[in-house]
A and B are shown apart, each in its own frame.
Chain A
């Protein structure tokens, strides 16, 4: 198999992060190449380098044997690299045919677009993919699967020699997935190289020839997929590679929390949202750390968001300390005593223009003021307390939060939620993207909080953190609870087995 696109020793740095570190990957003609890795592993950076959205800081991109530098997406497309994204990146209000042919519509007399030919071409093209729709109808009148096929048809019909598919099946029905795979196999037969990014292991094994595993911006494995069993693949993705096993007990968690007893303080029942969550139910008891396990896209973060009402659900109820929340909304959740530390610190957490003090007291402000006037003294007391307790390192409480390190920003957010004195604390990836020292401190804190009787829900892609931190792990897959580990079952091997149960998960 001859290579069509290659990254050779490519690195890409963003402020504060080395997103890709000396990565080399080869895409061959006529292969379906899986690219896997957890969040932050560098997959999307890699895709963006290949498609000309970013340029590498070091290393070389080769295409058809020659070094190339794509300055913008247009260059990569012109060269024959097409991408289809997880979220369909088309124009929902325009017709199906327009979406297929925008920018290269067939033209007739006087250089005017020949709509009749465009519609005929579009219908013919789509029928090759087994799609029979009115190509004059707006794209949004199609189902998501059909939209995805339109995106694929567009990508491929631009004479693509490389097609990058980023989570193409995340919103497809099984039947639609079958159609997609048939097309993918056709393309492979025609010599097109396909880079396939997905977290659904069963899909990878159905369609992919080779696999490259990224972790923390590095390639940790590349080779034929058939030679790799599921467990091994998961262990590579999650960083539990045998050669890389770190000394045990690096995390700051104590063994288990004996305080865990009594009635559950948080009861989650039947949270359901189409394509996202299906009937998630579990309990969380005070003094206990409950882990939410599962691969990326399994519905971990969505569950947390749904509990606090930040993600609307079609069904489901949340009960806190015996009282059922009538309406799920962030404000109601906070009043009931649930706090969520969201996953995306920048987009959903910090208010960058504001000071450390204000970021800490944001949610508690009404409690720390009198008739709408902020009480500086009360604020200072709280801010001071939590900055000390969480060892937040800032020049002063008045420093802008955006000037702090990631770890300290995270602690500021933790302080924001802790000063509300919650009954239940949901932590979504509390230690991601923060340095080792801060990580240990945050883990220690989680431990302490549970000891003090708080109910903690911990979401983490870090297997070790989850296993050592949680007393019990609820394992999610495709938005449903598939397993629950407790006691001696809370171990990396059990968790990995539960997580890897892809496709065979009991319903």
Chain B
């Protein structure tokens, strides 16, 4: 028996070349952020000041929150294009219910996110549509609905409690940043430590095998899209609170792209089966830093957009290389 056992060898460690290919998409984002920070510390005036870093973090917080939800969806080998529209919808719903107080209004906004997520989830998990197709409808209709609800108008908001969320500090840190951080920790825990999170990753990794292993594939998929919708709605609420105004026509435009970029740049492959929560947060930070750096160096918005386009393509390309088995 022992000699038989000896012939069973563990697979040899992967070759060096493949190591680089493997770690580049996974950890390249941290290196890039470090390099950008170093560059700015050396060449950009007033970059590493508390004030500037605060601004950057506040600006990135909604993107981080949306990207966390998007990371979950992408982990299931899906994608949610409707997140920007959900943000707009949340922004549109808020002023309608602010009369009852901030909490009910926020609750209703979040319910709108749940509703959109439930429709997306049902279309993907029950009807069996491709995720892009399924979420496209609410990408189109969601913003329209938001504009209809808000009558296409920008509305100034005067609810103190709501505005406080957008502008107040807790222990010297902006509340929106704290919320984003708390959510990141929570999502990290869900992904790593709960049956739901592990089942989600397993379904993204191999749906057939998960089904054969008796996993509740439909339920997990539905819940994932609902989570993504709620996160987007929350981001919409926070962004609105910060703006002091509900602006459903502009809020969340191209957010799906920013969120997908953050997720992919952070090392979560579009092909699913893995969710990198910290990577997603850092990915969002990276894109924010790129934009900030370009702006600080007087490079126009147009350059920033084109740079973002290139970064997305490179990140997706690199990630694609790895998964091609």
Contact = CB atoms under 8 A, between A and B. Distances in A.
Contacts of B193: 373-374
B197 to A, nearest CB: 8
A394 interface: yes
B5 A441 contact: yes
Contact of A362 (B8, B202, B216): B202
A314 to B, nearest CB: 20
Contacts of A334: 213-214
Interface string A313-343: 0000000000000000011011100001010
B171 interface: no
B321 to A, nearest CB: 15
Nearest to B75: A353
B273 interface: yes
Contact of B211 (A310, A353, A372, A407): A310
Contacts of B206: 347-348, 350-352
A331 B202 CA distance: 15
B10 A365 contact: no
Contact of B10 (A330, A354, A404): A404
Given A373-B193, A394-B10, A395-B10, A351 B209 contact: yes
Interface stretch (A81-89, A238-246, A431-439): A431-439
B4 interface: yes
Interface in A129-160: none
Contacts of A362: 198, 202, 209-210, 213, 215
Interface in B192-217: 193-196, 198-199, 201-202, 205-206, 208-216
Contacts of A333: 214
A416 interface: yes
Contacts of A437: 4-8
A342 B209 CA distance: 9
A340 B208 CA distance: 13
B274 interface: yes
Interface in B1-59: 4-11, 13-14
B205 to A, nearest CB: 4
Contacts of A373: 193-195
B8 A405 contact: yes
A369 B194 contact: yes
A363 B206 CA distance: 13
B10 A393 contact: yes
Contacts, number: 109
**Chain A: number of interface residues, binned into ranges:** 35 or more
Contact of A352 (B8, B13, B196, B205): B205
A399 to B, nearest CB: 8
B196 A391 contact: no
Contacts of A369: 194-195
A403 B214 contact: no
Contacts of B195: 365-366, 369, 372-374
B214 A330 contact: yes
A45 interface: no
Nearest to B206: A351
Count chain B CB atoms within 10 A of each CB in A353, A435, A437 and give the residue with the most: A353
Contacts of A372: 194-196
A351 B271 CA distance: 13
A348 B274 CA distance: 18
Contacts of A55: none
A441 B14 CA distance: 26
B202 to A, nearest CB: 5
B209 A349 contact: yes
Contact of B274 (A331, A342, A353): A353
Nearest to B8: A437
A220 interface: no
Contacts of B5: 391, 437, 441
A441 B6 CA distance: 12
B106 to A, nearest CB: 25
Which among B201, B212, B274 has the greatest number of chain A C-beta atoms within 10 A?
A: B212
A403 B196 contact: no
A330 B211 contact: yes
B10 A435 contact: no
Contacts of B11: 403-405, 408
A354 B212 contact: no
Given A393-B10, A437-B6, A342 B205 contact: no
A3 to B, nearest CB: 37
Nearest to B197: A374
B8 A363 contact: no
A446 to B, nearest CB: 15
Nearest to A16: B11
A347 B207 CA distance: 9
Given A374-B198, A440-B4, A393 B209 contact: no
Contact of A353 (B6, B194, B273): B273
Given A331-B214, A353-B201, A393-B8, A403 B14 contact: yes
A404 B213 CA distance: 20
Given A352-B205, A374-B193, A395-B10, A363 B214 contact: yes
Interface string A290-309: 00000000000000000010
Contacts of A363: 213-215
Interface string A386-425: 0000010111000000011101100000001000000000
Given A342-B212, A354-B205, A365-B198, A441 B273 contact: no
A6 interface: no
Interface string A440-453: 11000000000000
B194 A405 contact: no
Interface string A481-504: 000000000000000000000000
Nearest to B211: A330
A372 B223 CA distance: 14
Contacts of B13: 403
A358 interface: yes
B4 to A, nearest CB: 4
A330 B6 CA distance: 36
With a 10 A CB-CB cut-off, give which of B5, B13, B209 has the most chain A CB atoms: B209
B307 to A, nearest CB: 30
A333 B213 CA distance: 10
Given A366-B195, A374-B194, A437-B4, A310 B212 contact: yes
A193 to B, nearest CB: 35
A418 B214 CA distance: 14
A71 B210 CA distance: 37
A393 B8 CA distance: 8
Interface of A: 308, 310, 330-331, 333-335, 340, 342, 347-354, 358, 362-363, 365-366, 369, 372-374, 391, 393-395, 403-405, 407-408, 416, 435-438, 440-441
11 contacts: A330-B213, A342-B212, A351-B201, A353-B201, A363-B215, A366-B195, A369-B194, A374-B193, A437-B6, A438-B8, A441-B4
Given A351-B210, A354-B205, 20 more contacts: A330-B213, A331-B216, A342-B212, A348-B208, A348-B209, A349-B212, A351-B202, A351-B209, A351-B273, A353-B205, A358-B198, A362-B215, A365-B195, A365-B198, A365-B199, A374-B193, A395-B10, A408-B11, A437-B4, A437-B5
User: Nearest 9 A-B pairs (CB), nearest first?
Assistant: A334-B214, A351-B205, A331-B214, A437-B7, A437-B4, A353-B273, A363-B213, A437-B8, A351-B206
